[in-house]
Structure 1
Amino acid sequence: MSVSCLDKAYRKLLLSKYFTKGWGKPNDILKLFEFRKIISHRESCHKLVDADHPITILTKTSLKDCSVYDGTFLSPMAKYLPSMMSNKVKQAYFQLVLPKVWLDDFKPVCIHLAGTGDHFFWRRRNLMAKPLLKQGIASVILENPFYGLRKPTNQVRSSLHYVSDIFIMGGCCILESIALMHWLEGQGFGPLGLTGISMGGHMASLAATNWPKPIVLVPCLSWSTASSVFTEGVMSESINWDMLQRQYVSNDKYYDALAKRCNIVDKPFCHRLMKEFNVDEIWEDKDIKTPFDFLNLMNSSMTNMQKHKVSKREAKKRDKEAVWFMRGMMDECTHLKNFSTPVDTSLIIAVCAKIDGYVPRGGLSDLTSLWPGATVRYIKGGHVGACIWHRKMFIKCIEEAFERAKVKLGPPVEHSPYVITALCGAKYCYSPPWVVTLVFWVGYFNSALNPLIYAYFNREFRVAFKKTLQSCCQITSKLVCWKWRSRRDQPVNYSTASSEMHGNNYLRPDLRAEAIAQRFSHNISENEVINLQSEVVI
């Protein structure tokens, strides 16, 4: 597969280096491998997060076209691997962006996970969330671990210190997304969806596999595994392979314990890393599953391989055990084949770039073979070009996926009597009259009781309803509103506050968390902000 020249050129311009301190502690990686076995199965992973996981709304900001709520909660990951997470990483932050008026009876919400270099909320809020508002789709923007408000003080830009950090990031995104979806369901929102660009797209895919209900998924510029990103893509040039190789050979635990535990899912000889060799016969005779098996095969059969002229850089890179160990680790923890299949794959629309230099797809499992029923669409050009020029395509696919979900889920419950009556009242679909009448009136009572329930249990709804009623009365008749005559001089809010609050129950700021809210003022130096904003989402 050809590679975008723009992707190559842009990567060379960036100074960011990844995994500057190595693999991470072997014991920590072993814990992550064991934890992966738990979160890769939907039944066991879903039990890790309480349905009522505490989430706090800190502030609310009313803008012209939307309302923005800032929220925070403790990452569920901190309960299981606390020693591997700093205090900054443990505390999750998000923004909920809601439209002033919903377009229909549905209240869809899409969770946006961050791509590489996407710190804070402003980029996703302005480029993705606000355009979706026009389609009646709300958004939750989750701050990635190790980014923005959650960035460790000694970390430079987006440069993760250890390879193990990216696995911690993935585990956090999965569990935090589940916590947010539980919370959103409890607030009456739905249908729900997940999306992200590049790394965010793959994180969204992993999170969607662990949700026990149909969910919209639109991964953009990602594929079935992250292994090729770090071993074949242009990002591999930003990794200090010499240092990783030295660590690998200096500690027997990497080779004896870790390499034997992780599997290379796709055939290694189909990858670009081995394009210089003709090894079809070797592959047919060998059962290679782990980097340990593969390295033994390479060492024993190098003399039998047909030699080709290769560049010095490629030869040096090919011979490093660290590259194959990286591939095995990434496949073990990120390959979608190792995770459950989403409940409804027809709600998945993946968007890929044809000549993506960051996410090579050659030799990897096809997304449609792993998830039959999923839709994959391709954009002309590469990774960086797609981020710059094709965001409208991402938004269009998100909108289409939510429309599919609305059809699948059907109308809200209170409309079901009308639908049932229309179907069962047909000539060829007879139902006893008492059944039709019963279901019909249950719907009427449900619709009649909902406003009373909201008015009794929801203080904000009562205030909004009172303001709306006051406005109507002042306009129609002074006699009806004699109780409010003494308050005429007070300003009246003619906004659609009632409709907004009806969809946003319990989204009131917690005044007790005012001290925490100060962290949203971004006490960051000017130089750091400039550095973060100089990175594009890749």
Structure 2
Amino acid sequence: MVSGNLGSLHYILDHVYAAFVHRTKLSTPFFSRGWGGNKLDLLETMIQQLFPDLGKIQKIPPTSIQPRWRTVWETKSSCLREGTFQTPCDEQLMNALPPESHTARVAFLFPKSVPPQKMACVVHLAGTGDHTFDRRLRLGGPLLKQNIATMVLESPFYGKRRPILQRGSKLLCVSDLLLLGRSTIEESRSLLHWLETEFGFGKTGVCGLSMGGVHAAMVGSLHPRPLAILPFLSPHSAAVAFCEGILKHATAWEALREDAAGQKTSVTLEQVRERMRSVLSLTDVTRFPIPRNPQAAIFVAATDDGYIPKHSVLELQKAWPGSEVRWVIGGHVSSFILHNDVFRKAITDSLDRLEWREPSSMMKD
């Protein structure tokens, strides 16, 4: 067990990091341009209408994609490719997304000279602030020795997909957060479908850290085939992160109040916070279907996480019978830095809980 003082130190580190990154004038806060107007209304309606049909979505094959690949480097034992494809979102979502986010970008690191049916691949989704492929490739790289490939998706609103007016990771509107999540889910499901049907991987999975872990859980819930599901340092809902955790100090509450006051007089900050909780309840993964194989879901959580309270992790574990939580000693920031080996072990253990599939075809160059 960790001593109380050391535990507090990890928690304090989260707050010190957040004070520097989120509470200085170095960057704008989240949602500085308000709720998103008609876009938010559209997304709320779309998502609310989807909830009764999520079980049906779980049974429907994802949209097929055909990424265009280029080889970045290649050795005798492995290869790194980068690819692009048009986001498979429907017309309404495409119109709501910024033009910069219409083209998805992925990196694909895989072992060579191994039959696809004897390989696994995990799709790694971005946490808040992860704009490049590098960190997730470093996490997945050592797994090549165990015949586990890594697919890294660049999130909408991030990296080369970032809107021109957005600075860093700070999304301009609340609607952007819902758009990011919806499009990430669709793109991830299509990538997994491609890995399973075009490349012929025998096992597949999805993982992500923090925000990426929430999306990984959603993808795992909705994918029609059993997956390894690996949410790392993740809440069960974005409402927890922005209304309970440290990110509440990085949110432009006054701008949101002023935006709401333009449509309704005498809006209080408490009413704004309640509105945020209501909107972000749409990201509550406990409202999603139980995955095809919940025993292959492993959550890794930190004992002293200033961003993600413990109860949030346990809520999703309770909703998915047979899933597992593994605790690491640390906070959000320190665990992100120090516990990559624990994350990798969770990936291999989760994949071991899946049956091998027969491939339908090999990858087409």
- Tell me whether the two structures share a fold, i.e. TM-score over 0.5: yes
Cα deviations by residue, 1:32-87 (Å, 9 ceiling, x for unpaired): 1222145540423664843x333322445314652011111111125332221122
Distance (whole Å) between structure 2 residues aligned to residue 353 and residue 190 of structure 1? 31
Distance (whole Å) between structure 1 residues aligned to residue 68 and residue 81 of structure 2? 10
Distance change (3 Å), C-alpha of 1:145 and 1:326: same
**Matched-pair contact (CA < 8 Å) for 1:46–1:178:** no
**Matched-pair contact (CA < 8 Å) for 1:235–1:358:** yes
How far off is 1:111 after superposition?
0.2
Cα deviations by residue, 1:351-393 (Å, 9 ceiling, x for unpaired): 0011111112447861222111100111112100100111110
Unaligned runs of 5+ in 2: 1-6
Q: Which has the higher helix share?
A: 1
Distance (whole Å) between structure 2 residues aligned to residue 373 and residue 32 of structure 1? 32
Q: 1:161 aligns with which of 168, 172, 187?
A: 172
Counterpart in 2 of 1:11?
18
Distance change (3 Å), C-alpha of 1:8 and 1:179: same
Count of aligned positions: 350
Q: Does 1:322 align with 2:272?
A: yes
Distance change (3 Å), C-alpha of 1:244 and 1:104: closer
Letter in 1 for 2:194: W
Q: 2:250 aligns with which of 235, 238, 244?
A: 238
Q: Does 1:130 align with 2:137?
A: no
**Matched-pair contact (CA < 8 Å) for 1:113–1:195:** yes
Larger Rg: 1
Distance (whole Å) between structure 1 residues aligned to residue 18 and residue 288 of structure 2? 31
Q: Which has the higher strand share?
A: 2
Q: 1:43 aligns with which of 56, 64, 76?
A: 56
Distance (whole Å) between structure 2 residues aligned to residue 111 and residue 141 of structure 1? 6
**Matched-pair contact (CA < 8 Å) for 1:245–1:320:** no
Q: 1:223 aligns with which of 231, 235, 241?
A: 235
1:356-375 paired onto structure 2 within 5 Å: 356-362=305-311, 366-375=315-324
Letter in 2 for 1:237: H
Q: Does 1:144 align with 2:144?
A: no
**Matched-pair contact (CA < 8 Å) for 1:39–1:45:** no
Distance (whole Å) between structure 2 residues aligned to residue 148 and residue 504 of structure 1? 30
What is the SS of the residue equivalent to 1:20? coil
The percentage of aligned residue pairs carrying the same residue is 32
Distance (whole Å) between structure 2 residues aligned to residue 322 and residue 34 of structure 1? 19
Cα deviations by residue, 1:420-464 (Å, 9 ceiling, x for unpaired): xxxxxxxxxxxxxxxxxxxxxxxxxxxxxx9xxxxxxxxxxxxxx
1:18-417 paired onto structure 2 within 5 Å: 18-25=30-37, 27-37=38-48, 39-40=50-51, 41-44=54-57, 47=60, 49-50=62-63, 52-63=64-75, 65-102=77-114, 106-126=118-138, 128-186=139-197, 187-252=199-264, 320-331=270-281, 333-362=282-311, 366-405=315-354, 409-410=355-356
Distance change (3 Å), C-alpha of 1:103 and 1:58: closer
Q: Over the residues paired in the alignment, what is the CA RMSD in angstroms?
A: 2.6
Distance change (3 Å), C-alpha of 1:46 and 1:63: farther
Letter in 2 for 1:505: M
**Matched-pair contact (CA < 8 Å) for 1:78–1:90:** no
**Matched-pair contact (CA < 8 Å) for 2:117–2:201:** no
**Matched-pair contact (CA < 8 Å) for 1:39–1:210:** no
Cα deviations by residue, 1:232-284 (Å, 9 ceiling, x for unpaired): 2111111121111122232149x9xxxxxxxxxxxxxxxxxxxxxxxxxxxxx
How far off is 1:103 after superposition?
8.8
